[in-house]
Structure 1
Amino acid sequence: VVAHYHNGYLDLWMPNAGPHVRAKALSNLLKIPLNRVRVRRIAIGGAFGGRSEVQPADFAAALLSIKTGRPVKLVLSREENATSTRQVHDMVATIKTGVKRDGTIVAKEFKVIYDGGAYSSTGPIATSIPYYVYEETYRFPNVRYDGYRVFTNKGIRGMYGCHGRAFLAGNEVQLDMIAEELGIDPVEIRLKNGLRAGEETATRSKIISSGFHEAVERAAERSSFKEKRGKLPKGRGIGMGCVAIMCGFPMGFRSGSSCYVKLNDDGQATIVTGVVDNGQGNESMMVQIASEVLGIPVEEINLVNADTEVTNLDPGAYSQAAAFVGGNAVRLACEDARRQILSFASDKLGVPAEELELRDRMVISKRDPSKAIPIRHVVREAFFAGRPIMGVGAYMPKIDFGREWVKNPYGQMAGTFSFGASVAEVRVDEETGLVRIERFVAAHDCGNPINPMAVEGQMEGSVAQAGVATVMEECLWHEGFLLNPDLLEYKVPLACDMPQIEPIIVRSPVPEGPFGAREGGLTIRMNAHSAVATALYNALGVPLRELPATPDRVLEAIEKGKGGER
């Protein structure tokens, strides 16, 4: 973090997911008018939810600059970063499921206790989202969910990876246990209970469009799930994990976005938006949308974002809202500019605006291509005519703003949801307890992807971050001290740990999405944990009741299995 307080103004540069959110929090904390706080995002590392909140380092750097009157740069050590920034919530979950003999889920009951660390942070959100993600996946008419977030002498727990991957893994493993008890194929029980387009969740969110069933079927087919399940050699297993996830939500943060685009006299365009890119590909996504609408090559579109001084109010990149919400705002702004261009060109060419199109930097008649004019000429002449081409767009999804986390958890949570199914194959060394993930097939319904290559990259990264991490990543605490605060002791996946990854994009266009698009990537990060957990259950014949699947826990599960325990 770099902070510079001068002449009553506070400038900050920091990696973050929402500059306007940070500026508001710092303005409140430091009693500085909001118009005198400027926050700029710098591109250092990803966010994954953990950079959505104001951090202690932000406040400390700002306060030191105010007190000293000098610029202050604060760089955290690896240990400081591990203990003072947001971590994922540890949790203990008790899950009960009521089913009919044909595998139909009729009731769910959950009790989940979350380790919140020393401060509140995003407590109600973190406690609620794991359940909401699960209810968006499967149909169950009766449910009771009790979530508790407790204070402990540990680092602050906050938003990270949409919360609750272990909770989802427990549900998916239990679903496999139920299928086994009833003699039903694990794929079939998921297809039977998966929500379809037009249905509502238990808290009354309507599923607008869904490729869930196609994702399950394609993941099962590509991985040869049914052919391999129960037929692999000893110590080998295959498992499936499924999930749905909201694209934005109305509680806490408002879910809208706005954008404006201006055309320069050389025919190039500049997009100004508050949407942030921390490595997800949001910037290229927005530029591609603008290029498609305006008929201008992507290399001739400039982007200004992540700066509170020049961009519109925007929550930033959070809750998978960038493509569906931010992308829609960009589309609408560019369509506004497009209408202005066509209107002015119509007068110049003597052709009705509806018979014109933008293509290859030109305004061209659809019926008579000889009638054409360069976009740059239209922009310049429009300016001198007092009609500068500037488009404005704002998008607010159709959600229920009266919905709250606890008091009123009913109504439309998000404008759309993404769906995914993943299959993992694992090999377990029964002598050492070491687990090797050998193959991972991930099928993801992200609507109509704007940049398929970027989506596949996000899917592969999700497998690395969540799937492979299921067998190694863990923060070890003892009496308030973190025992593995650096990368010597805290194990992260390396290239040699990666399985063969096979991404599958399922196309289920969203009517309201920008060109039919919605979130791409996080869905796989949420179900990768589950796929590995169910594969381990298949390999061991006994469920792992604690994750990550470290060698000691695997060996303990093997011993329990030998003793007939479940």
Structure 2
Amino acid sequence: PLSNAFKIPLHKVKIKKITIGGAFGGRSEICPVDYICALLAKKTNKPVKIEFTREENTIATRQGHAMITTHKTGVDKDGKVLARETTCYMDGGAYSSTGPIATSVPFLSMEQVYRMESVRYNGYRIYTNKPIRGMIRTHGRGFACGLDTQLDMIADHLGIDPVEMRLRNCRKPGEYTSTKSYVDSCAMDETIHKAVEKSGWKEKWGKLPPFHGIGIGTNSVQTGFPMGIRGGSQSFIKFNEDGEATVMSGVVDNGQGNDNMLVQIAAEELGLLPEDIHLVSADTETTSSDPGSYSQVSTFVGGHAVQIAARNCKKKLFGVAAKVLKVKPDTLAAKNRLIFVKNDPEKSIPIKKVVRISLLNFTSVNAEGGYWPKVDMTREWVKNPYGQMCEAFSFGTTIVEVKVDPDTGQVEVLEVTAAQDVGYGLNPLVLEGQFEGALTMGGQGGMLTEYHEWKDGRCLNPTMLDYKLPLACDMPKINNIIVESIDPKGPYGAKEAGMSIAMSAAQGYSAAVSNAIGAYMDSFPLTPDKILTAIKKKKQQTEKK
């Protein structure tokens, strides 16, 4: 975008990422201030920094889409979903931004997690006199809450446990979605079973004290749908004379641990220690094309590219080592800085020595690797929404237990259990961090405290004084459960992690509050005034009976 705007060649625009704590969708595309900053730097021939106040940040950067959705669902007497018709109206602000994607993602999450024989979806993104809209960790939490609320209502009407209702309709491996995407790895039912067991659902459902509630949410997120010419990632690895390696990758680390992930994969493949890997990432001067930290691509696509580059490097190392050890290359393995014979580990040679031997023979040890998801490139958001959307899907379940104060409408979250099918857990500690961050944003913040008030196109609460963020003291006990299904296409079987929890957390919070007050909530976030209104309405209905 900067190259096009200033009419200068791409090679003259150098962008190097800095260490930041997070992005959550706010940096999924260029902001107007980026152009302004670049223009001022060009005009003054000096470095320019633009820093927003909190109020400016609220009105000049992306915010989530407010939406109104309606769901019409047909089921049989056993609770099997036969057909669903959904309409979604999204507040798109005054700019197009990622409009088609934002309008499509809610439907995609719905069709991925639940089986539906017949489905109709109408999505409308409406221009309004408000700032630009985007995602907050994901699109469509309110949509998902409405969908699951209706599912709970149907289960209640049929006398079916909400957990059983989901097990009867959840996605299974080897199936196709409504828009013809094949689902290879899927442990949706396992995430439900493990979350139910850990949370004590069977002991609590229907047996909690008044104004105590428990609820479940389930969701699915695609792993890395392609973004046109930026749909794939490429990596380059070169060995240095000391036996250590430099990895170059365009993958961006926005705080989720991507740098560490790339180092882990390279070290594992090359038989080195993590400290032997030196990473150059997200520098347009030296690194190749990458989709960026968007659409859950970092591990599945970017990590895959590094894995392929490392394997190509390893082939060269094994070719040299095989001649020295007088064995065939396919009998070798690499670990702890050594290349050794698999069935005779004592017969080995240091990787450092292999690199030096290669250099003495006028051959450097380096290789590249790239990975592009195999999807249906004729698929289009509006005109042709059919075909393989992406190569893998993640699945998550969140169970939430709450206590509601009937006099104030305040919600105290007692315990949250989150289980996600991540394919393979490359780094369990980082995964737990992603789960907890997702619960904070999707559940605690997104459903209870964070919301903007608007009037005549202006935000009435743009400061931290009025826009409440959840603090550490607000967070409940969290049980994290990593479920592995080993995706055949992901690096070591890994796929997206965290986003399914951000979606299902919102659903779980909504269901728990509804269960606590005995009335289904249909407006989010769950602010005290809405909860008090629902309690009052429920009381009036009970008195009439």
Whole-Å separation in 1 of the counterparts to 2:223 and 2:304: 12
Partner of 2:101: 125
Displacement of 1:488: 1.1
User: Runs of 5+ in structure 1 lacking a partner?
Assistant: 1-24
Question: Which of the numbers 486, 506, 517 marks the counterpart of 2:494?
Answer: 517
Question: Which of the numbers 338, 358, 367 marks the counterpart of 1:382?
Answer: 358
Partner of 2:15, secondary structure, is: strand
Partner of 2:239: 263
1:164-183 aligned within 5 A: 164-183=140-159
Partner of 1:542: 519
Partner of 1:40: 16
1:251–1:401 contact (8 Å) kept in structure 2: no
Question: Which of the numbers 55, 64, 71 marks the counterpart of 2:47?
Answer: 71
Whole-Å separation in 2 of the counterparts to 1:32 and 1:315: 22
Partner of 1:563: 540
Answer yes or no: is 1:487 the counterpart of 2:452.
Answer: no
Displacement of 1:254: 3.9
Partner of 1:153: 129
Question: Which of the numbers 266, 269, 283 marks the counterpart of 1:290?
Answer: 266
Structure 2 letter corresponding to 1:190: R
1:250–1:403 contact (8 Å) kept in structure 2: no
Q: How many residues align?
A: 541
Partner of 1:105: 81
Residues 70-96 of structure 1, C-alpha deviation per residue, up to 9 Å, x if partnerless? 221111111111111111111011111
1:106–1:141 contact (8 Å) kept in structure 2: yes
Question: Which of the numbers 335, 341, 344 marks the counterpart of 1:359?
Answer: 335
Displacement of 1:365: 1.7
Residues 390-434 of structure 1, C-alpha deviation per residue, up to 9 Å, x if partnerless? 021111122111111000000011110001101000110000010
Partner of 1:472: 449
Partner of 1:136, secondary structure, is: helix
Partner of 1:529: 506
Residues 251-292 of structure 1, C-alpha deviation per residue, up to 9 Å, x if partnerless? 556431111111111111111000111111111111111111
2:395–2:500 contact (8 Å) kept in structure 1: yes
Displacement of 1:372: 1.7
Whole-Å separation in 2 of the counterparts to 1:190 and 1:367: 49
Partner of 2:254: 278
1:122-521 aligned within 5 A: 122-251=98-227, 254-469=230-445, 470-521=447-498
Structure 1 letter corresponding to 2:193: E
Structure 2 letter corresponding to 1:118: A
Partner of 2:56: 80
Partner of 1:387, secondary structure, is: coil
Displacement of 1:67: 2.0
Whole-Å separation in 2 of the counterparts to 1:477 and 1:483: 6
Residues 508-545 of structure 1, C-alpha deviation per residue, up to 9 Å, x if partnerless? 10111111111111111111000000111111121111
Whole-Å separation in 2 of the counterparts to 1:270 and 1:564: 68
Partner of 1:260, secondary structure, is: strand
Answer yes or no: is 1:52 the counterpart of 2:67.
Answer: no
1:161–1:526 contact (8 Å) kept in structure 2: no
1:363–1:372 contact (8 Å) kept in structure 2: yes
Whole-Å separation in 1 of the counterparts to 2:228 and 2:152: 35
Whole-Å separation in 2 of the counterparts to 1:517 and 1:44: 24
The sequence identity of aligned pairs, in percent, is: 50
Q: Which moved more, 1:64-73 or 1:467-476?
A: 64-73
Whole-Å separation in 2 of the counterparts to 1:243 and 1:369: 46
Partner of 2:519, secondary structure, is: coil
Displacement of 1:563: 2.7
Displacement of 1:159: 3.0
Partner of 2:183, secondary structure, is: coil
Displacement of 1:69: 2.2
1:251–1:404 contact (8 Å) kept in structure 2: no
Residues 484-516 of structure 1, C-alpha deviation per residue, up to 9 Å, x if partnerless? 112111000011110100000111101111111
Whole-Å separation in 2 of the counterparts to 1:482 and 1:454: 35
Structure 2 letter corresponding to 1:542: A
Displacement of 1:478: 1.3
Displacement of 1:59: 0.6
Residues 313-348 of structure 1, C-alpha deviation per residue, up to 9 Å, x if partnerless? 111111111111111111100000000000011112
Structure 2 letter corresponding to 1:94: T
Structure 2 letter corresponding to 1:540: I
Residues 117-165 of structure 1, C-alpha deviation per residue, up to 9 Å, x if partnerless? 1111101110111110111000011111111111111111013322001
Whole-Å separation in 2 of the counterparts to 1:162 and 1:30: 31
TM-score calculated relative to the size of structure 1: 0.94
Whole-Å separation in 2 of the counterparts to 1:128 and 1:63: 34
Structure 2 letter corresponding to 1:528: A
Structure 2 letter corresponding to 1:545: D
Structure 1 letter corresponding to 2:510: A
2:233–2:305 contact (8 Å) kept in structure 1: yes
Whole-Å separation in 2 of the counterparts to 1:367 and 1:93: 62
Partner of 1:50, secondary structure, is: coil
Displacement of 1:356: 1.3
Query: What RMSD over aligned residues (CA atoms) do the two structures have, in Å?
Result: 1.2
2:214–2:511 contact (8 Å) kept in structure 1: yes
Structure 2 letter corresponding to 1:518: K
Partner of 1:5: none
Whole-Å separation in 2 of the counterparts to 1:500 and 1:539: 18
Displacement of 1:366: 2.1
1:448–1:509 contact (8 Å) kept in structure 2: yes
Displacement of 1:384: 2.5
Displacement of 1:385: 1.3
Partner of 2:38: 62
Whole-Å separation in 1 of the counterparts to 2:456 and 2:254: 34
Structure 1 letter corresponding to 2:138: C
Displacement of 1:462: 1.1
2:227–2:291 contact (8 Å) kept in structure 1: no
